[in-house]
Chains A and B, each alone.
Chain A
């Protein structure tokens, strides 16, 4: 469970995030949508303790993220390229992440099998450093690395960016099956309303740092509401 309590983050006079209270239950897939500058990435950075909140706190599984590192062992995340160690090959990077999570090389290799379809033969065995991969393949590398530890909380910022249509579809299936099998809580942000509503059980619409709508997404019902909202904009 993720609990947000009186969270406030400002950059100068601009409010980036202002969420009095919000709870994401175990097993939910929460889609975070909003225009540029709405505060989606800032909220994720706050959740991962990468930036300091001006007020309030976030707790993952009852552990306040700014006061302990315990939450890190069951949380996986990929926000952008700055998460990748780009002078490693993807294989080396996965093994490195695996070691940090306490996995042996063989265990990491075994876990990577699950992602074979998603990686589509374009990542492993390419004899390339991550810095020389295409943007889409870098994105895939980051997403796979985030899921390697089988985290109970998975945070992905704009995961569909740079991916070709087949990979986008593959990612949707991957995330849904992962959620079904492990009961993990998944948080993802996207500008693609269709993909987001396709897989999310709940949608949070963020504008100027504030969650202005919290929509239960039964039978993809949120898509209409979101399209109506952004159409009006």
Chain B
């Protein structure tokens, strides 16, 4: 009964999140995302069979895969950091006339039957269909699937224990090193008199339906569940009394922007928004790393003589941060839009500041592109024309979303939270902003020589940059016309 109640409450909490509930596109996108990953894992499972068969013809593919099971466990361990622990969930139930241990038990049992434990089956079942079925038939596949599921349940409990302890003191994360280090060591060793490593035999045991293998895994699960029960029970009150030290050690003030008046003030606000909040900060560094990797690949001529791939990567490096940040334009501000709107023309200045800051950020890919230009993988004209085209039409198009974005994005919701999901408008305009320059460049080269095409892109870019105050004012005016609808949207999704 308690098990069902807590399960139902968790489902409702997810379903009734304000942004999710009011955003049909978000629902679609989340379902699409889940289906995509399932399809991707199915593809990976199938491809792995053929790759392993070709690369290691002397071994059965499932033997090889079983030998690497520990790598899947490590990956699974990291993915689980997105999940909450029972000790975090138990708070609302503590004042109910139900034993604390029973509530914890309910959450622990739920964790065993979590759908998250089934995700890897999308990879292992297709793989088993191709490799295991030939030798052991359907029962082999069923045993393998059941075994992998049990292994993931065990891993879930290991991860839960470490995550629970890490909430008390982050250093406990290091417990993962001996745990998975030991597993890795065991998977590399091949004891005398045995055909394969521990994990190879474990996998084979599941496939053959060996009762001792299953019994051993179930015993390990029960053992880990017991340890979790004990530790979580002890930590409940410490978790409740948990007080984070919120004092700031260093306040970045970006005082050098003060000299630029009101626009400088908004640029400072924008910088603080990016670097003081978890979601925009994670986005910034993710895109920065991605951009650096792509720039390095371009410098290393990883795309060979394919000039269009070179153009694509160059444009990607310039656009990625602007597109991803500006596609959520006003969504972060939705958190305090009412406060901004009681001051005169604030949004116009804010839009200008956002634009200037994005233009300044373009210096990062601009510098990163120097190396590919020096290496000769792209020309300086391509780099320069894409830089100004991004600064001009690409930003002008993506900033139109300031008029249409009407859902608040949480500033500290985490990069994977579902409330990061964009609207249909965001998806369409982002895609258009990215594909537009490539299409335009391609079309121009049909009629003009390469240099003239690049110069045209550069000229269009410069013209749009020169008229930025006009189109930003236009965006501001259109926003003001829609302000009531947008503000209502922001308020409902806060």
Q: Flag whether A147 is at the interface (Cβ < 8 A).
A: no
B344 near A73: Cβ-Cβ < 8 Å: yes
The answer on a CB contact under 8 Å between A87 and B411 is yes
A127 adjacent to B344 (CB under 8 Å): no
Asked if B494 is an interface residue, CB under 8 A from chain A, the answer is yes
Chain A residues contacting B276 (CB-CB under 8 Å) are 87, 129
Which segment, of A14-22, A29-37, A75-83, A218-226, faces chain B? A75-83
Q: A50-B487, A96-B269, A128-B248 are in contact. Are A83 and B336 (CB under 8 A)?
A: yes
Q: Are A127 and B277 in contact (CB under 8 A)?
A: no
| Chain B contact residues, CB within 8 Å of chain A | 246-248, 251, 253, 262, 265, 269, 272-273, 276-277, 335-339, 341-346, 411, 484, 487-488, 491, 494
CA distance A94 to B58 in the complex (A): 72
> Do residues A89 and B336 form an inter-chain contact, with CB atoms below 8 A?
no
> Looking across the interface, which residue of chain B has its beta carbon closest to that of A97?
B343
Q: Quick check: B253 and A51 within 8 Å, CB to CB?
A: no
A100 is an interface residue with CB less than 8 A from chain B? yes
Contacts of A73 in B (CB 8 A): 344
Task: Quote the shortest CB–CB distance from A88 to chain B (angstroms).
Answer: 6
Q: Say yes or no: A51-B488 contact (C-beta < 8 A), given A72-B343, A87-B277.
A: yes
What residues on A are CB-neighbors of B246 within 8 Å?
A: 128-129, 132
Give the 5 A-B CB pairs with smallest separation, nearest first: A83-B339, A132-B246, A52-B484, A72-B344, A87-B276
* A84 CA to B339 CA, complexed, in Å: 6
Taking A50-B341, A82-B491 as given, write out 18 further A-B residue pairs in contact, using a Cβ cutoff of 8 Å, ordered by the A residue number: A50-B487, A51-B488, A82-B494, A86-B336, A87-B276, A89-B248, A100-B262, A100-B265, A101-B343, A126-B247, A127-B248, A127-B251, A128-B246, A128-B247, A129-B246, A129-B248, A129-B276, A132-B246
The interface residues of chain A lying within 8 Å CB-to-CB of B494 are 82
Q: Is the CB of A84 within 8 A of B336?
A: yes
The residue on A at minimum CB distance from B480 is A69
Q: Name which of B253, B276, B342 has the most chain A CB atoms within 10 A of its CB.
A: B342
Interface of B is mostly: helix
Tell me which residues across on chain B come within 8 A of A52, comparing CB atoms: 484
Cβ of B342 and Cβ of A82 under 8 Å apart?
Answer: no
User: A92 at interface (Cβ–Cβ under 8 A)?
Assistant: yes
Check: A180 CB closer than 8 A to any chain B CB: no
A1 lies within 8 A of chain B by Cβ: no
- What residue of chain B has the Cβ atom nearest to residue A128's Cβ? B246
Chain A hits for B346, CB < 8 A: 100
User: A132: nearest residue on chain B (CB-CB)?
Assistant: B246
Name, among B248, B251, B344, B491, the residue most crowded by chain A CB atoms within 10 Å (CB to CB).
B344
How far apart sit A14 and B494, CA to CA, in the bound complex (Å)?
A: 23
Contact B265 A96 (CB under 8 A): yes
Complex Cα–Cα for A69 and B339 (A): 14
Q: Are B336 and A51 in contact (CB under 8 A)?
A: no
Q: A51-B487, A132-B246 are in contact. Are A100 and B343 (CB under 8 A)?
A: yes
A49 at the interface (CB under 8 A from B): yes
- Does A163 interact with chain B (Cβ within 8 Å)? no
Neighbouring B residues of A124 by C-beta, 8 Å: none
Interface status of A99 (Cβ within 8 A of chain B): yes
Q: In the complex, what's the smallest C-beta–C-beta distance from B219 to chain A, in angstroms?
A: 46
B338 touches A82 (CB 8 A): yes
Name the residue of chain A whose CB is nearest to the CB of B246: A132
B254 CB to closest chain A CB, in angstroms?
10
A63 to B241, CA, bound (A): 52
Contact A82 B337 (CB under 8 A): yes
CB distance from B297 to the nearest CB of A (A): 35
Which residues from chain B contact A48 at a C-beta distance below 8 Å? 338, 341-342
Which residue of B is nearest A99, CB measured?
B265
A67 CB to nearest chain B CB (Å): 11
